[in-house]
Amino acid sequence: MPKTFDRRDSAESPDSAAEGTPDAHGSPLRDKRRLHALERSGLLGGVANPVLDRVARLTAGILGVPIALVSLVDDQRQHFPGLAGLGGWAGTQRGTTLSHSFCQHVVTSNEALVVSDASSHPSLRDHLAFKDLGVVAYAGVPLRTERGETLGALCAIDVRPVQWTTAQIALLEDLSALAMAEIEMRALAHDLSQEQSRYTAQADRDTLTGLLNRRGFAAISRARYALALQGGTPFSIVSVSLNGFRHVNAQYGDDFGDHALIDIAALLTTVVQSGDVVARRGSDEFTLMIAEPRGTPHTDIESAINGALAVLNAEIGRELVLEASVGVARWSPDRSQALTAVMQCADDAMVRQKRQRHAGRAA
């Protein structure tokens, strides 16, 4: 049954009548699951939704009132993604703070709220919804998700007293179902978008090391190259390959080899700066894209990698000594090299170093 406020309810206000079931913070308005459901809708912060605007117009027309709102209530504000007839600053902003909200009491009580005449009510005539917005008569019903979270209210408002009927409240309930269908659809679209983003992110990542994979590096390096062309910012491509790694799995086992690759991935992320790109492009091959924002060559990245490898190899009890061949190629705006050409130069330099080290051992 809706809570009704008329001139006889002199001892009560929406605050005293709409306690609801508090969460750990003391108020249903701050319930985390409810707030998450609101965020999933994407309808906060002054967003206008044409479907919900239509529901508001239908509500105003069917009930014969000048104002109707689809109001979503968080822990600080009420938001009107659907509205009809509301002018002034509240209509322009499509929302107000809770100081001007009757709808918050629909959320806290989880039931309909009916006010026939706020002007004659000892408590409500001082409410800012009446004083600033001219809300004299109010009827609001919960906007409730299938999981039971009350997100706000569909409300009908008049600037004159109204004796609301049971039939009108029933119509509000039916119309609120239309509004919730749109809100739930928006939430579902949000979830699908998030899932797609997670899938895309996973597709661009190496499952073992967490670094970008070949696909992820290709996408990001192209974008960075375009920015470098536009801003004339030099960068370096670094190719890294572990020496003799094909024998590791055979000698120590696959798990040991996986841990070695994870160690190398972590090592490479420590020798770059924030914003640089590190990727695993092959089984034991890694590529770095290093920006040079000050127009000067980056710190000797080969020395940094070999120094970090020396520290790693010096760990007590380490069974495997890891070595790497490193090739570096630099792009600058005074050279018209394509990104693929720079990457090939880095790969060639890495291969030359690998061959030289192999020849040195053979000698």
3-state helix, strand, coil in the chain (%, to 5): 50, 20, 35
For residue 361, how many other CB atoms are within 10 A of its CB? 9
Distance set, CA 164 to CA 117, 177, 208 (Å) = 10, 20, 64
Structure-token match 């968080």, residue found: 74
Tens digits of residue pLDDT in 60-91? 999 999 999 999 999 999 999 999 999 999 99
Cβ 43 vs Cβ 79: under 8 Å: yes
**Rounded CA separation 109/344 (Å):** 67
Tens digits of residue pLDDT in 152-177? 999 999 999 999 999 999 999 999 99
Cβ 83 vs Cβ 56: under 8 Å: yes
Tens digits of residue pLDDT in 21-46? 334 345 889 999 999 999 999 999 99
Predicted model pTM:
0.56
**pLDDT at res. 88:** 95
Residue 260 — very low, low, confident or very high, per pLDDT cuts 50/70/90?
confident
User: When comparing pLDDT for 232 and 192, which is higher?
Assistant: 232
Determine the residue type at 226. A
Residues 6+ apart with CB under 8 A from 121: 5, 6, 7, 9, 10, 115
**Rounded CA separation 253/262 (Å):** 15
| E runs forming strands in 243-351 | 277-280, 285-291, 324-331
